Amino acid sequence: MEMIAPCMAYLSDQALVPSGRCCEGVVALNRTVSTRGDRVAICNCLKSVAPNFPGVDFSRVAALPRLCGVHINTTISPSIDCDSLPPAELEEVQH
């Protein structure tokens, strides 16, 4: 949560675009994700704290990775099923 705390102004409609510090945090958080398990854990963490921030605009949450230049291969929403997330892009998919 600490990595994306600078994003709160953008996520709650108090800023037109995410700040540089916000995007730095989004990029840093994405770098910590190397496996599907990491993605599920981060998803569950963010989903569990989301109700504590009632002013968050989830359309902005969904747009945040793209605006910060991060491709996550999923759409973020309050109803996301974290257990159904695809593998992390760096993770090798077994065939």
Compute the distance between CA of residue 27 and CA of residue 33 in angstroms, rounded to an integer. 10
Residue 6's domain comprises: 2-77
Asked if residue 71 belongs to a domain, the reply is yes
3-state secondary structure 16-60: CCCCHHHHHHHHHHHHCCCCHHHHHHHHHHHHHHHHHCCCCCHHH
Instruction: Give the pair of three-digit tokens for residue 19.
Output: 């700040």
The CATH number for 52's domain is 1.10.110.10
Residues in the chain: 95
pLDDT at 5 over 70: yes
Residue 70 lies in a domain: yes
Predicted confidence (pLDDT) per residue in 39-92, tens digit: 899 889 888 888 888 899 999 999 999 999 998 878 888 888 999 888 765 544
Count of CB atoms within 10 A of residue 59's CB? 12
Report pLDDT for 85: 86
pLDDT, average across residues 30-35: 88
Residue at 82 is within a domain: no
